[in-house]
Amino acid sequence: MHFSHRTGSDRPNRIALAESEARSQGLKLGRLNDSNPTRFGLAPSFLPQVYEAEPRGPRKARQALAEFLTRRKELDENEGAAAVNPDDIYLLSSTSQAYSWLMKLLCDPGNAILEPRPGYPLIESIAGLECVRTIPYRLSYDGSWVLDLATVRQALEGPDGDRIRALVLINPNNPIGSYIHPEERQSLLDLCQGHGVAIIADEVFFDYPLDPLPGRARLAGEKQVLTFALDGFSKSLAAPHAKVGWIQVSGPADQVAQAKRQLDLIADDYLPMSLLITRDMEAMLANIPSQTSRVGERVRGNLESLRRILGQKQSSVSLLRPEGGWNVLLRFPQVIDEEKLILRLIGSYGLTGQPGYFFDMPGNGYLALSLLPETLEFRRNVGSVVSAIEKML
């Protein structure tokens, strides 16, 4: 497995080795250059504890998260699942930051990652900031979404194959809502293993099934290939303002150990999560099941309403089958320009939206629609879209 040169050598110098040896013998060393004011009684009263920098995030918070992830894994698998190790978890402020760290870990400038199209444009934007190239692989629609394994294989075996460091899998994808199917998963694992490519699995929408095909499963905890699973409170709590995300590292033991050594250097440079956030994590984790259920009920209810509305009106608007998430894609006749439709919605209905070309859809005639609004507002939104399209036709 290739790791970037950005973090320098992970071999400790002689001083670090001597410090480690002293600690192993139970000797607590004083620090002549200690610049941590909390050790000298100078912290504010609302933060009385002594601050100890833990690059992966406070141990107590990671332990609580590991216990939550273990329980969730047991529920998913309906059997005794292996416990999640808190030392395999990194806490950070968002999955966007996680992408940035992992690109630093895996890619030198000019290296590349594979990312899905259609897909949300965020990954390409972050990659650009990290001087990393993105190479798309395709998903195609024929009643349901299918990952085009041939485009992944062609990229890995093509002229840029030796510069590809990671495959990004969105499970389920946003906004098309497709999970990774079992037969796709094993083929992708074999390809990545054969080419020494890591997997970055973004699973923030996993707990919002809409109409999934059988066999959906998380990639978190995958052992065959070095895997970095991303999740966080933004989607699981429906709380984008609760800035907590995490990376769960898994895979072959030697690769995991090396990856964590390098990732620790990155995490240490960027400093760990704020105690003001992580001290409330246990209570926040306890709220995830009820929040996920509440949001899931809303989005599944709106999806049923959408199907009824489109069926009753026998309109020229159709729904591309979603398997999970809380966004869907509508399809309308290609004679209507996507951008002109959005402009019509802005001018006549006081609504705006994201056309299909934002997500690199293969042609004209698509519109993203959120399933989150309250029922009456959602129905009005659908009615406005259908009305605008019919008038433009």
Each residue's pLDDT tens digit, 290-318 = 999 999 999 999 999 999 999 886 779 99
Whether the CB-CB separation of 175 and 320 falls below 8 Å is answered with no
Residue 230 has pLDDT above 80, yes or no: yes
Average pLDDT over residues 279-283: 87
Using DSSP, state whether 132 is helix, strand or coil: coil
Whether the CB-CB separation of 189 and 225 falls below 8 Å is answered with yes
Type of residue numbered 96: S
Whether the CB-CB separation of 204 and 319 falls below 8 Å is answered with no
Host H or E run for residue 211: none
| d(C-alpha 273, C-alpha 117), whole Å | 32
Average pLDDT over residues 107-114: 96
Closest CA to 232 of 70, 58, 77, 90: 90
Confidence of residue 287 (pLDDT cuts 50, 70, 90): very high
Structure token pair of residue 375: 């029922």
Model pLDDT, residue 274: 77
Model pLDDT, residue 100: 96
**CA distance from start to end of the chain:** 54
Each residue's pLDDT tens digit, 57-82 = 989 999 999 999 999 988 877 556 78
| d(C-alpha 49, C-alpha 274), whole Å | 13
Better-predicted residue by pLDDT, 212 or 350: 350
Structure token pair of residue 215: 């066999």
Closest CA to 190 of 159, 138, 225: 225
| d(C-alpha 133, C-alpha 212), whole Å | 32
Confidence of residue 21 (pLDDT cuts 50, 70, 90): confident
Burial group, residue 331, by CB count within 10 angstroms (0-12, 13-18, 19+): middle
Closest CA to 320 of 328, 309, 310, 308: 328
Residue 46 has pLDDT above 80, yes or no: no
| d(C-alpha 306, C-alpha 193), whole Å | 42
Model pLDDT, residue 48: 62
Each residue's pLDDT tens digit, 117-130 = 999 999 999 999 99
Model pLDDT, residue 39: 74
Burial group, residue 127, by CB count within 10 angstroms (0-12, 13-18, 19+): buried
Each residue's pLDDT tens digit, 195-220 = 999 999 999 999 999 998 888 999 99
The DSSP annotation for 313-357 comes to HT-S-EEPPP-BSSEEEEE--TTS-HHHHHHHIIIIIS----BGG
Model pLDDT, residue 79: 59
pTM over 0.95? The answer is no
Host H or E run for residue 270: helix 253-270
Spell out the domains of the chain, with CATH numbers in brackets. 5-287 (3.40.640.10), 288-391 (3.90.1150.10)
Residue 31 has pLDDT above 90, yes or no: no
Burial group, residue 314, by CB count within 10 angstroms (0-12, 13-18, 19+): exposed
CB burial of 237-267 (b: ≥16 within 10 Å; e: otherwise) equals bbbeebbbbbbbbbbbeebbeebbebbbbbb
Residue 97 has pLDDT above 90, yes or no: yes
Model pLDDT, residue 278: 82
Which of 31-35, 198-202, 312-316, 373-377 is predicted with the least confidence, judged by mean pLDDT?
31-35
Whether the CB-CB separation of 152 and 114 falls below 8 Å is answered with yes
Host H or E run for residue 70: helix 59-77
Query: What are phi and psi for residue 212, nearest 5 degrees?
Result: -75, 145
Answer positive or negative: Cα dihedral of 179, 181, 187, 190: positive
